[in-house]
């Protein structure tokens, strides 16, 4: 069973991640929010230190994956394992307490790394391991509906030829690899969608532009065109077979891994906003009493308690989803629940904190207004709020995507 306290073996990790957030991320947070698209050079040394740590250190956005081939089976004695998925979520929460954009900008820690770790073969892990991988899913006409992907992959001898357009690729310009989702046969539908590893310097992969964004400005967001982009057959992640009955469960399994990570990002930003708001309230003489009913306290204190309760609920859902992945339990429902709750909570709480703090919340002397901008994307990417609720409804009602749209 899952325990609610931080496992003892992960406490040093949490302490280290908090130290990084406090001493490295926070001091340069505003600098790279204003200097959009400028690479944070301060992260190079940090990335080198993290790469030198043991596997599954949890100090980045790329998790160890949920592949059953990794050897991370539940302990036979206790039937309970606290592994790399949980440690990564705990580390992400702390780092995003510092700055979520800087976490996403950290070399070697892209969401594409989670995709590779989830479904790659041993040979692929050996070939591509240690490289920074971004993930390219979204297209101009295929956002939340990943099954509508139009990018194609055609086998030509020993290579696949990719053609299409990808937008909103997080860390796409700086990453060494791009994990591209494409269809082997568009007439078959979602069952033909596969993911391919494309080297960033591939001549068939062209950078169109970098986006200017509301938040997470320290992280680059790229748009690409793939024109006769050739990759070796070995670059396909998972099986090349098109199984109509199985659908595209293989590539979708990636989301079971990455959605709790994004939920963790939202939790880090949420906690940062709550702690700063509590500090501002106490400085203004507003006392928050946990032994007194909220209705008997000031409106500001009651609102704060409500937001804090939402944060705690999102935290529990996220830890559950990560724990289930570590213990090889199907967690698609729980991953979507965690992402939906944490994403919405992040937006609601950060905006609520800005509202409570008034002019302080809107000013650039504090980071509250920045956190409210950063939080919005965490409710959108890796599946929007609305898509998560649709996935949850399908699973709870035992409906297919065709039956419940």
Q: What is the DSSP string of 318-340?
A: HHHHHHHHHTT---HHHHHHHHH
Angle at 109 (CA atoms; ends 227, 115), nearest 5 degrees = 60
Round to whole Å and give the CA distance between 380 and 169. Answer: 13
Torsion on CA atoms 95, 98, 104, 105, rounded to nearest 10: -120
Sign (positive or negative) of CA dihedral 318, 324, 326, 328: negative
Query: Which residue among the candidates 139, 165, 366, 382 is catalytic per the annotation?
Result: 382
| Residue whose C-alpha is closest to residue 89's, from 49, 58, 122, 131 | 58
Round to whole Å and give the CA distance between 378 and 257. Answer: 15
| Residue whose C-alpha is closest to residue 112's, from 22, 199, 232 | 199
Cα(first)–Cα(last) distance of the chain, in Å?
A: 34
Say if CB 289 and CB 275 are below 8 A apart.
no
Angle at 255 (CA atoms; ends 254, 256), nearest 5 degrees = 90
Say if CB 232 and CB 159 are below 8 A apart.
yes
Q: Is 302 helix (H, G, I), strand (E, B) or coil?
A: helix
Round to whole Å and give the CA distance between 58 and 10. Answer: 9
Residue 382 appears among annotated catalytic residues = yes
Round to whole Å and give the CA distance between 159 and 75. Answer: 41
Round to whole Å and give the CA distance between 402 and 211. Answer: 34
Round to whole Å and give the CA distance between 141 and 216. Answer: 24
Other Cβ atoms within 10 Å of 215 Cβ, number? 20
Say if CB 83 and CB 72 are below 8 A apart.
yes
Catalytic residue numbers, as ranges: 382
């Amino acid at each position: 069973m899952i325990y609610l306290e931080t496992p003892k073996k992960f406490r040093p990790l949490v302490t280290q991640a908090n130290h990084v957030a406090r001493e490295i991320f926070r001091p340069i947070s505003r600098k790279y929010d204003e200097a959009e698209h400028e690479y944070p050079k301060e992260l190079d040394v940090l990335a080198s230190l993290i790469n030198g740590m043991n596997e599954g250190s949890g100090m980045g956005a790329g998790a160890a994956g949920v592949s059953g081939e990794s050897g991370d089976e539940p302990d036979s004695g206790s039937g309970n394992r606290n592994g790399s998925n949980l440690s990564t979520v705990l580390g992400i929460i702390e780092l995003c307490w510092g700055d979520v954009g800087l976490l996403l900008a950290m070399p070697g820690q892209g969401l594409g790394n989670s995709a590779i770790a989830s479904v790659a073969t041993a040979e692929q892990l050996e070939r591509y391991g240690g490289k920074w991988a971004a993930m390219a899913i979204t297209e101009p006409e295929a956002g939340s509906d990943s099954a509508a992907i139009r990018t194609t992959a055609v086998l030509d001898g020993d290579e696949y030829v990719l053609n299409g357009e990808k937008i909103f690729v997080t860390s796409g310009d700086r990453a060494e690899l791009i994990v591209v989702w494409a269809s082997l046969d568009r007439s078959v539908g979602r069952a033909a969608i596969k993911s391919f590893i494309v080297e960033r310097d591939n001549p068939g992969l062209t950078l169109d532009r970098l986006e200017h964004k509301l938040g997470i400005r320290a992280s680059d967001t790229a748009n690409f065109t793939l024109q006769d982009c050739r990759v070796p057959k070995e670059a396909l992640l998972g099986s090349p077979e098109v199984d109509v009955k199985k659908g595209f469960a293989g590539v979708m399994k990636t989301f079971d891994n990455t959605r709790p990570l994004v939920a963790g990002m939202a939790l880090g930003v949420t906690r940062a906003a709550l702690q700063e708001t509590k500090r501002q309230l106490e400085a203004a003489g507003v006392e928050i009493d946990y032994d007194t009913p909220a209705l008997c306290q000031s409106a500001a204190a009651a609102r704060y308690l409500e937001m804090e309760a939402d944060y705690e609920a999102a935290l529990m859902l996220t830890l559950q989803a990560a724990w289930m992945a570590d213990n090889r339990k199907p967690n698609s429902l729980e991953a979507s629940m965690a992402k939906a709750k944490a994403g919405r909570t992040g937006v609601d709480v950060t905006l609520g904190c800005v509202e409570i703090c008034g002019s302080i919340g809107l000013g650039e002397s504090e980071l509250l207004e920045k956190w409210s901008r950063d939080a919005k994307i965490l409710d959108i990417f890796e599946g929007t709020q609305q898509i998560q609720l649709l996935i949850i409804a399908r699973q709870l009602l035992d409906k297919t995507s065709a039956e419940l749209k």
